[in-house]
Amino acid sequence: METVLVSLLKELCSNVYALRLPDNPSYPALVYTKVSGHRDVAHDGPTGIGRARIQVDGFDETFEGASDLAELVRTLNGESATEGDVTIMGMFIDGEWDIYESTRNLYRCTTDFRIFYRVD
């Protein structure tokens, strides 16, 4: 599922990272984190259906830049996509908030998604 997600995010921003910003990144930048996940199981085994809560953080050196990036991220609300044997059946915004990180002098706009996916 992460591969499909990264492809979608890279359509919005060329700087996409898992879990954390690297040292000395270019901005704007996106960081995605899987906060929780669940894979469905039936009596006869795994169904291939899963769901995950993904946090997408948009970072920039200005609030306007981070806010503009968050607006792009919000365009993924309701999106579906397939790559290989993985299909994101739908991703839906579950929450949003803005933060100023004074230790890094960065603005961060966060969007939480609930993502429903299938692995064939």
Going from the N-terminus, what domains does the chain have, and what CATH number goes with each? 2-119 (3.30.2000.30)
pLDDT bracket for residue 2 (50, 70, 90): very high
What confidence score (pLDDT) does residue 119 get?
Answer: 95
Furthest CA-CA distance within the chain: 52
What confidence score (pLDDT) does residue 87 get?
Answer: 97
**Up-side HSE of residue 97: CA atoms within 13 Å toward CB?**
6
What confidence score (pLDDT) does residue 56 get?
Answer: 98
Q: Give CA torsion, residues 2, 35, 59, 79, to 10 deg.
A: 50
What confidence score (pLDDT) does residue 24 get?
Answer: 93
Tens digits of residue pLDDT in 33-87: 999 999 998 999 899 999 999 999 999 999 999 999 999 999 999 999 999 999 9
DSSP E strands, the chain: 16-18, 29-42, 45-60, 81-83, 86-101, 106-119
Token pair 């939480």 is at which residue? 112
3-state secondary structure of 72: helix
8: left (phi over 0), alpha (psi -120 to 50) or beta: alpha
| Burial of 19 per CB tally in 10 Å (0-12, 13-18, 19+) | exposed
What confidence score (pLDDT) does residue 106 get?
Answer: 97
pLDDT bracket for residue 26 (50, 70, 90): very high
